[in-house]
């Protein structure tokens, strides 16, 4: 794998931003910018051998700055929602920005400039390269306690996987939950809908959501519901089902409880498009995954092709700890202590089926 860096632009407050192109031996390539560790392009060979850019994105840095859809971005300090925009830790309550109705959603890290560097290991044919991006989130940023040192590492394997590795360390007790918010369309970023994308998810339960898409605390079994992806099926079946959970969220925007060993990098989901022949497999160490069918993408701006985004144009597979965990102590814990290291890995692997 080879990585090259180039000047990308300057933010509205004057910070320089660089882009990095990762390319493997098969010609697959990913483009990542320091602004939000954002995946702006992901070119994957289809069944005819032609490369397709399978992630949505904007055409300019200014649009990434102004956008609020998390387009391709690294998300944190807390991915997904925190109910009522506050949480209590060790007896102290911390107030966050209410940026999604009364709740806190995703945080500001997708709008921060990380410091990128290319790391090389080995020599000659054995040389390996990876992109390492770092950011120090100060105590109180977004309302969260602790100075948090964050490292995001991207690797593109010759077998066709974009690997995202997250680590973090804090100097005070805090909560952490990271994800990536790439919007996938396996027909290419010009694709108009993901209704025909066939999806399989290794999960027997999902989090019931309330009218604000926050978990109620109930874990519902998928059997007999549109959330049963244990056998692969098109997303459109559930989107058109009339199920009350689907109607309330205007589509899928739910956390799936993954069937997996704690902390192991294992298969979580598969997506396939017959039109392109591209199959994507999602591997993760995380306990949950938010399936989001871009229910509110219309009005989020224009894509790289200049065409306005549309609802259901893409699908997100956001590996994560569960939303609103501070309100539900029975969920897998998200606390991080100074003597601990946060470490999670997710890989999006592509092949032609």
Q: Point out the residues that are catalytic.
A: 181, 318
Q: Under a CB-based contact definition with an 8 Å cutoff, are residues 140 and 92 in contact? A: no
φ, ψ at 83 (rounded to 5°): -65, 135
Is 202 within any annotated ligand binding site? no
Q: Do residues 317 and 270 touch, judged by C-beta distance below 8 A?
A: no
Q: Report whether 46 belongs to an annotated binding site.
A: no
254 is in an annotated binding site: no
182 annotated ligand binder: yes
- Answer whether the bond into residue 77 is a cis peptide, omega within 30°: yes
Binding residues: 80-81, 181-183, 253
Binding residues for beta-D-galactose: 80-81, 181-183, 253
């Amino acid at each position: 794998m080879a990585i090259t860096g180039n000047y990308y632009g300057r933010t509205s407050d004057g910070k320089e931003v660089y882009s990095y192109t990762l390319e493997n031996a098969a010609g697959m390539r990913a483009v990542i910018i320091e602004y939000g560790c954002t995946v702006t392009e992901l070119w994957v060979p289809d069944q005819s051998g032609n490369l397709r850019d399978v992630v949505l994105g904007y055409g300019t840095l200014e649009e990434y700055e102004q956008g609020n859809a998390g387009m391709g971005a690294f998300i944190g300090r807390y991915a997904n929602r925190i109910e009522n925009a506050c949480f209590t830790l060790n007896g102290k309550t911390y107030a966050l920005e209410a940026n999604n109705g009364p709740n806190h959603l995703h945080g500001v890290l997708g709008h921060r400039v990380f410091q990128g560097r290319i790391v090389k290991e080995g020599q000659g044919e054995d040389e390996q390269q990876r992109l390492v991006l770092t950011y120090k989130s100060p105590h109180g940023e977004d309302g969260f306690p602790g100075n948090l040192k964050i490292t995001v590492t991207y690797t593109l394997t010759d077998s066709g996987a974009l690997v995202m590795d997250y680590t973090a360390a804090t100097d005070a007790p805090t909560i952490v939950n990271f994800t990536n918010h790439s919007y996938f369309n396996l027909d290419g970023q010009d694709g108009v809908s993901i209704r025909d994308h066939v999806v399989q998810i290794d999960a027997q339960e999902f989090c019931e959501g309330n009218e604000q898409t926050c978990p109620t605390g109930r874990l519902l079994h998928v059997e007999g519901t549109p959330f049963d992806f244990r056998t692969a099926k098109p997303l459109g079946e559930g989107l058109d089902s009339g199920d009350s959970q689907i109607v309330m969220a205007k589509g899928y925007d739910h956390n799936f409880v993954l069937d997996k060993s704690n902390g192991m990098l294992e298969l979580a989901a598969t997506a396939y498009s017959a039109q392109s022949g591209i199959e994507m497999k999602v591997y993760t160490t995380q306990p949950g995954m938010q399936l989001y069918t871009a229910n509110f993408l219309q009005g989020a701006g224009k894509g790289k092709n200049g065409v306005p985004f549309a609802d259901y144009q893409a699908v997100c597979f956001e590996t994560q700890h569960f939303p609103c965990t501070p309100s539900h102590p029975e969920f897998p814990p998200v606390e991080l202590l100074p003597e601990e290291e946060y470490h999670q890995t997710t890989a999006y692997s592509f092949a032609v089926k």
